[in-house]
Amino acid sequence: MLALRSLLISCCFCICIHQATAQKQDSLSIKTEFSGLIGATNNGLSIIPTFSLNAPAANFLLSVKGERFSFDPDIRLTFDGRRGGMVFWFRYKILKEKKFTFHVGAHPAYNFQTRRIEENGTSNLITQARRFLAYEIVPNYRISDHVSVGMYYLTGYGLQKDGPRRSHFLTINTNLSNLRLVNDVFVQFTPQFYYLKLNKEDGFYYTHTVGVVKKSWPVVFQSTVNKEISSIITGSRKFQWNISVLYRFSNKYGRSADEDIFRIEDEITEF
């Protein structure tokens, strides 16, 4: 119930922003952008792709961003709402240069897992919510219009005694974007190596995500592969993959001289 209630609140919030419109005027300063990817996958993977739901899932990756600050809900749940996670990112861009960007972020998060308990001689399957706090550090350097390299560091704290109490996730990544496949069909490829430590267990992994999109379509076909290189983490799998179909969108909002809010543009976003 907690998962579904939080999901409904987040969706209502985003829908309200999406529907806020007024009249366009000549003097314009863009203030806010609302974008996202909404879809389904055959195997729900976590932000840290070592972990998966091993079941079909719905994905809601949303973003409300201004010039430097953004709010980015990341919701991934099985279709019955009983397993998955909700991450509510608050991010700030410290540096925003043409070639180099640097942002930091922090979030509260909920992870939902089912467990079986015995009560009055009856076995019941319940959903347990675990709470986490985390922060991230993300530098990125753009080499060209199609190539960028970067690092991603995420550390989290579990707020309950069972489950992971402290985690470290460090990646070195490359992003190859807007690579023409044929005509107006483009590919994005993001390979990365990462190190993960949970309490006293750790491991090294390789993962990549491939996305294919037709510029005039709002649909993205995406696949992620995760390969264990060396790991002693409990529950780690040698190999995981998924295929996702996502709807992408981006709406920009601004203020005129008299500060009336209006929607200025509807367009599909880059993925």
Domains, the chain, with CATH or none: 2-267 (2.40.160.40)
Express each pLDDT in 129-182 by its tens digit: 999 999 999 999 999 999 999 999 999 999 998 888 999 999 999 999 999 999
Q: What is the mean pLDDT of residues 113-117?
A: 88
- Give residue for tokens 């991603």: 152
- The predicted structure's pLDDT at residue 253: 77
> Tell me, what's the pLDDT at 7?
46
The residue type of 267 is E
pLDDT recorded at residue 34 = 94
Mean of all residue pLDDT scores within the chain:
85
Could you tell me which residues come within 8 angstroms of residue 213 by beta carbon, excluding any fewer than 6 positions away? Answer: 185, 186, 188, 219, 220, 221, 248, 271
* DSSP three-state, residue 14: helix
DSSP codes joined into one string, 92-135: EEEEE-SSEEEEEEEEEEEEEEEEEEEETTEEEEEEEEEEEEEE
The answer to whether the CB of 89 falls within 8 A of the CB of 71 is yes
Q: What's the mean pLDDT in 216-221?
A: 94
Mean pLDDT calculated for residue range 62-83: 95
Q: Which residues contact 135 (CB under 8 A, 6 or more apart)?
A: 104, 105, 106, 107, 154, 155
For the residues 118-125, what does the mean pLDDT come to? 84
- Residue 142 is encoded by which pair of tokens? 């753009």
Asked if residues 242 and 45 have their Cβ atoms less than 8 Å apart, the reply is yes
- pLDDT score of 4: 42
42 residue type, one letter: N
pLDDT at 121: 78
The mean pLDDT of 117-121, rounded to a whole number, is 82
What pLDDT shows up at residue 23?
A: 38
The string of pLDDT tens digits covering residues 232-258 is: 999 899 999 999 999 999 998 765 444
User: In the chain, which ranges are E strands?
Assistant: 29-41, 57-65, 69-78, 84-96, 100-119, 122-142, 147-158, 166-182, 185-198, 201-214, 219-231, 239-255, 261-267
| CA–CA separation, 111 and 75 (whole Å) | 10
Q: Is 268's pLDDT higher than 60?
A: no
**Res 141: pLDDT:** 98
Question: Which CA distances in Å does 101 have to 46, 77, 96, 106, 113?
Answer: 25, 31, 5, 17, 36
**26-30, 148-152, 261-265: range with highest mean pLDDT:** 148-152
Reported as a pLDDT band with limits 50, 70 and 90, residue 30 is low
